[in-house]
């Protein structure tokens, strides 16, 4: 069966030719890896994705995770995948040697996660969260905590989660109420409710380690009184055996999509016998958790891109095989004596395919850019390190949101290509359509990401991250100047960048005079505008890389049509997607208030 969920060629292009992993492999830290060895990792992951993950994708939807007798039952494929991932050392492979990893660059481990997300988006989360939870303990935990938990997690004997959300608080973490009561032995008793805990129960493992936010008795209100705790499902007795830690699985949320992935309601301390151990500094828990959240945000963007990628390749295959209709003849009629054409030849179908392709390849390129920044942050020093850090901070909310939001648009277009079959459960597109819908809710909704982008990232250090981004975009435009036929696209991008400047010139005075409600009211529109431009940057970058290779030779051995296709898709993006920036600018600089609380009372607005 041919792989119709992803393209190893496109991944190789991204890692080796576009974002040039060699740049970071040249460092001392990554010296044990070379392109060849990393490419073999990609091949192994793809192999497993094809043989073990994709074949159970539909089954995991048809037989969802469910709650029974106090626990969540999930598909056994998850246990198998956990074993494969740990046997191969993929879980935490990007950790340092001392921490049980093998210093694999994030660029590469990100690509591996992307492959898994393309093949089956129900599975990767269990692995990714376990790695993220272990990493949090490694970064902020004591040596004792590290020794107790990390090895078992990396071996896959135990899994990990992040436990933030509570029923009454939702996105507003300042309102969480889970309590942590100090005990004489240095532990804390934990009491509270956590909902929407991904992977919170299900895997057939000995223990699940919940990295949990809670409030120590007497802590300040709001986010400044939140601490981080390791709360295992089973705690480790003095003799090393496991005993029940009073973390109850209260239920599994039944969902419209991603049905194979458990989403759990946890109840801590119903018998007043749940213990947690603090990680890091008291009341700094939310700041610590941001390490895991930022990782999870990129993971969500990656997963959204993966779901949309799989949908794209399915609809592409369908469009190539499905005969229907005819090309128009000169007088605008169809000659019915002619053979039917396959639908890939209809301009509107091509438009929908190119839309998908521009979204998924643009998104994956942006995410790879982010992982490269993460790797660079590790190996660079001084200002260069700081620049990598700031740019990553700025790009993260976009790398999470663009794939989540535009991935939905891509998939609904892929479904449309199937016609009525797209709506039928016998065909795959409807599953992708349902699955991806969670991505703009996970790990901070689009609204939250947009507030983060405009309210914090754009303004931090007097806009320095935006300056760095502009600088990087200018570098790509300068590189494109070597190719006459790329120049018009660079000019378009320049014009749109200037619109962002106009918008900021209009908006910033509101922030400066303290009218933050007005400044932030249309943060979601700003997100659309900024991420559209950032993806246009990625496409220009792809255009430049493609041009370079067409004049030389592909080092990963791809045909010239692959690179010509990149340039064609760039053209699609600049013709069809980039113009939306103008509409965003028009909205963002329109002085009329219609959504602000002061503009009209709710009972008038919504009569």
Residue numbers 330-369 binding a copy of itself by CB under 8 A: 330-332, 334, 336-337, 340, 344-351, 353-354, 357
Site for a copy of itself in 246-275 (CB under 8 A): 253-257
231 vs 247: CA distance, rounded Å:
8
Q: Is 2 in the site for a copy of itself (CB under 8 A)?
A: no
Nearer to a copy of itself, 158 or 562 (CB): 562
Rule CB under 8 A: say whether 3 interacts with a copy of itself: no
**Token representation of residue 348:** 């509107």
587 binds a copy of itself (CB under 8 A): yes
Give the C-alpha separation, 436 to 403, whole Å: 9
At closest approach, how far in Å is the CB of 322 from a copy of itself? 8
**Least CB distance from residue 4 to a copy of itself, whole Å?**
13
**Sign of torsion, CA 66 69 75 80?**
positive
Residues 78-117 that bind a copy of itself (CB under 8 A): none
What is the spatial distance between Cα 495 and Cα 376, in angstroms, rounded to a whole number? 30
User: Burial letters for 371-398: b for 16+ Cβ neighbours within 10 Å, e otherwise?
Assistant: bbbbbbbbbbeeeeeebbbbbbbbbbbb
**What is the closest distance, in whole angstroms, from the C-beta atom of residue 595 to a copy of itself in the complex?**
4
CA separation for the pair 591, 113 (Å, rounded):
44
Residues 114 to 133 in contact with a copy of itself, rule: CB under 8 A? none
Give least dist CB 115 to a copy of itself, A: 19
Point out which span in 148-156, 361-369, 534-542, 584-592 binds a copy of itself (CB under 8 A).
584-592
β-bridge pairing 188-198 and 275-279: antiparallel
Residues 6+ apart with CB under 8 A from 127: 81, 82, 85, 90, 91, 113, 116
Residue closer to a copy of itself by CB (options 130, 449) is 449
Residue 310 is encoded by which pair of tokens? 């799989």
> Rounded to whole angstroms, how far apart are CA atoms 345 and 363?
26
The 10 Å CB-count burial string (b at 16+, else e) for 338-357 is eeeeebbebeebeebbbbbb
Write the interaction track for a copy of itself spanning residues 19-58; mark x where CB under 8 A is met and - where it is not: ----------------------------------------
Which parts of 441-480 interact with a copy of itself (CB under 8 A)? 441, 445-447, 450-451, 455
CB nearer to a copy of itself: pick between 90 and 312? 312
Residue in 22, 174, 183, 272 binding a copy of itself, rule: CB under 8 A: 174
Q: Are 133 and 161 in contact (CB under 8 A)?
A: yes
Residue 523 interacts with a copy of itself (CB under 8 A)?
yes
Please report whether residue 151 would count as binding a copy of itself according to CB under 8 A.
no
State yes or no: residue 430 binds a copy of itself (CB under 8 A). Answer: yes
| CA dihedral sign of residues 368, 373, 376, 378 | negative
Nearer to a copy of itself among residue 74 and residue 391 (C-beta): 74
Q: Which of 37, 172, 177, 501 binds a copy of itself (CB under 8 A)?
A: 172
Q: How far apart are CA 572 and CA 358, in angstroms?
A: 7
Q: Is 324 one of the binding residues for a copy of itself (CB under 8 A)?
A: yes
CB of 326 to a copy of itself, least distance (A): 8
Q: Which of these ranges, 22-30, 39-47, 476-484, 508-516, lies near a copy of itself under the rule CB under 8 A?
A: 508-516
Which C-beta is closer to a copy of itself: that of 238 or that of 594? 594
Work out which of 40, 481, 551, 605 binds a copy of itself, going by CB under 8 A.
605
What is the radius of gyration, based on Cα positions, of the chain?
A: 25
Tell me how far apart the alpha carbons of residues 382 and 440 are, in angstroms, rounded to a whole number: 35
Task: CB nearer to a copy of itself: give 141 or 422.
Answer: 422
Q: Which of 221, 383, 462, 553 binds a copy of itself (CB under 8 A)?
A: 221
Structural tokens at position 461 = 């250090």
- Residue in the block written with tokens 């494109």: 480
Q: Please return the burial class of 559, using the count of CB atoms within 10 Å of its CB with bins 0-12, 13-18 and 19+.
A: exposed
- At closest approach, how far in Å is the CB of 153 from a copy of itself? 25
Q: Give the side-chain half-sphere CA count within 13 A for 394.
A: 25
**Residue 143 within binding range of a copy of itself, rule CB under 8 A:** no
Q: Tell me the window of 44-52, 73-81, 294-302, 413-421 that interacts with a copy of itself (CB under 8 A).
A: 413-421
Segment 526-565, which members bind a copy of itself (CB under 8 A)?
A: 559, 561-562, 564-565
Q: What is the dihedral of CA 542, 544, 545, 550, to 10 degrees?
A: 120
The correct pick among 202, 414, 422, 428 for binding a copy of itself (CB under 8 A) is: 422
How large is the angle between the packed helices 523-551 and 487-512, nearest 10 degrees?
A: 160
Q: What residue has token string 């749940």?
A: 274
Q: Rounded to whole angstroms, how far apart are CA atoms 409 and 427?
A: 18
Least CB distance to a copy of itself at residue 528 (A): 11
CB closer to a copy of itself out of 353 and 370: 353
* Among positions 170, 273, 385, 460, the unique one binding a copy of itself when judged by CB under 8 A: 170
* Sign of the CA dihedral running 164, 170, 174, 176: negative
> Can you tell me which of 171, 273, 283, 474 binds a copy of itself, judged by CB under 8 A?
171
Q: Which of 98, 239, 383, 592 binds a copy of itself (CB under 8 A)?
A: 592
Residue 195 backbone dihedrals phi, psi, to 5 degrees: -120, 165
Q: Is 206 in the site for a copy of itself (CB under 8 A)?
A: no
Q: What angle do CA 51, 56, 60 make, to 5 degrees?
A: 155
C-beta of residue 231 within 8 angstroms of C-beta of residue 164: no
Q: In this complex, which beta carbon is closest to a copy of itself, that of residue 97 or of residue 606?
A: 606
CB of 535 to a copy of itself, least distance (A): 15
């Amino acid at each position: 069966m041919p792989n119709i969920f992803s393209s190893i060629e496109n991944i190789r292009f991204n890692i080796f030719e576009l974002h040039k992993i060699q740049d970071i492999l040249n460092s001392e830290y990554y010296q044990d890896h070379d392109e060849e060895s990393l490419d073999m990792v990609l091949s192994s992951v793809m192999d497993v994705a094809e043989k073990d993950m994709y074949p159970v994708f539909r089954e995991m939807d048809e037989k969802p995770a469910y709650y029974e007798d106090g626990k969540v039952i999930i598909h056994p494929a998850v246990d198998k995948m956990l074993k494969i991932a740990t046997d191969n050392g993929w879980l935490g492979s990007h950790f340092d040697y001392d921490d049980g990893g093998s210093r694999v660059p994030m660029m590469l481990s990100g690509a591996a996660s992307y492959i898994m997300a393309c093949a089956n988006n129900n599975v990767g989360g269990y692995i990714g969260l376990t790695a993220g939870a272990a990493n949090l303990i490694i970064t902020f935990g004591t040596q004792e905590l590290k020794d107790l938990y990390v090895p078992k997690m990396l071996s896959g004997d135990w899994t990990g989660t992040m436990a933030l959300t509570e029923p009454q608080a939702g996105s507003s973490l300042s309102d969480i109420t889970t309590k942590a009561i100090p005990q004489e032995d240095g532990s804390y008793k934990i009491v509270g409710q956590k909902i929407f805990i991904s992977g919170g129960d299900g895997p057939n493992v000995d223990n699940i380690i919940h990295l949990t936010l809670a409030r120590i008795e007497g802590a300040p209100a709001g986010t400044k009184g939140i601490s981080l705790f390791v709360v295992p499902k089973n705690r480790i007795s003095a003799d090393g055996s496991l005993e029940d830690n009073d973390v109850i699985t209260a239920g599994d949320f039944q969902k419209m999509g991603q049905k194979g992935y458990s989403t759990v309601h946890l109840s801590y301390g119903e018998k007043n016998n749940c213990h947690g151990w603090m990680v890091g500094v008291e009341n700094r828990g939310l700041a610590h958790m941001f390490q895991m959240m930022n990782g999870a945000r990129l993971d969500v963007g990656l997963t959204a891109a993966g779901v949309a990628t799989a949908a794209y390749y399915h609809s592409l295959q369908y469009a190539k095989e499905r005969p229907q209709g005819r090309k128009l003849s000169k007088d605008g009629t169809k000659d019915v004596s002619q053979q039917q054409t396959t639908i890939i030849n209809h301009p509107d179908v091509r438009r929908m395919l190119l839309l998908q392709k521009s979204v998924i390849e643009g998104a994956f390129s942006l995410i790879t850019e982010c992982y490269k920044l993460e790797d660079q942050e590790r190996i660079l020093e001084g200002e260069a390190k700081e620049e990598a850090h700031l740019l990553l901070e700025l790009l993260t909310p976009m790398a999470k949101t663009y794939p989540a939001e535009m991935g939905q648009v891509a998939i609904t277009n892929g479904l449309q290509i199937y016609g009525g079959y797209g709506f039928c459960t016998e065909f795959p597109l409807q599953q992708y359509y349902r699955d991806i819908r969670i991505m703009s809710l996970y790990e901070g909704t689009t609204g939250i990401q947009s507030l983060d982008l405009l309210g914090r990232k754009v303004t931090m250090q007097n806009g320095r991250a935006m300056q760095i981004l502009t600088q990087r975009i200018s570098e790509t435009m300068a590189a494109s100047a070597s190719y006459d036929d790329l120049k018009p696209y660079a000019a378009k991008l320049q014009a749109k960048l200037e619109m962002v400047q106009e918008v900021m010139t209009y908006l910033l005075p509101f922030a400066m005079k303290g009218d933050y409600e007005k400044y932030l009211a249309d943060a979601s529109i700003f997100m659309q505008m900024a991420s559209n431009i950032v993806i246009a940057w990625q496409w220009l970058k792809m255009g430049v890389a493609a041009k370079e290779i067409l004049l030389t030779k592909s080092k990963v051995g791809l045909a010239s049509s692959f690179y010509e296709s990149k340039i064609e898709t760039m053209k699609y993006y600049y013709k069809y997607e980039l113009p939306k920036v103008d509409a965003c600018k028009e909205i963002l600089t329109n002085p009329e208030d219609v959504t602000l609380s002061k503009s009209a009372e709710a009972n008038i607005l919504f009569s």
